[in-house]
């Protein structure tokens, strides 16, 4: 799968359910049958954060980052 397609699927997941860890997003992609490598996944998620389409915030209770769909 191309990176742009992977980014679109990640965005659609975050539109449905906000505040997910990268592991939860990865698991949802696998459940949908999306094929990707971990490097492609990390790059796509990082690109979305850099582009401002996804917000990455720390969750101190879980000791993980949570990702949120950024409207607009």
3-state secondary structure of 68: strand
How much is the pTM?
0.93
CB neighbour class for 34 (10 Å; exposed up to 12, middle 13-18, buried from 19) = middle
Average pLDDT, the chain: 95
The residue to which tokens 């049958």 are assigned: 33
Walk me through the domains of the chain, giving residue ranges and CATH numbers.
3-67 (1.10.10.10)
**pLDDT at residue 14 in the model:** 97
Say if residue 63's pLDDT is above 70: yes
pLDDT above 90: residue 71: no
Q: In the numeric block, which tokens belong to residue 47?
A: 């690109």
- The end-to-end CA distance of the chain, in Å, is 26
Reduce the DSSP state of residue 20 to 3 states and report it: strand
3-state secondary structure of 19: coil
Q: Tens digits of per-residue pLDDT, 10-36?
A: 999 999 999 999 999 999 999 999 999
């Amino acid at each position: 799968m191309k990176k742009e397609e992977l980014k679109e699927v990640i965005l659609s997941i975050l539109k449905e359910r906000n505040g997910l860890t990268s592991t939860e997003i990865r698991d949802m992609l696998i459940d949908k049958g999306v094929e990707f490598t971990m490097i492609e996944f990390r790059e796509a998620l990082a690109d979305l954060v850099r582009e401002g389409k996804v917000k990455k915030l720390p969750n101190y209770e879980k000791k993980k980052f949570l990702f949120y769909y950024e409207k607009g």
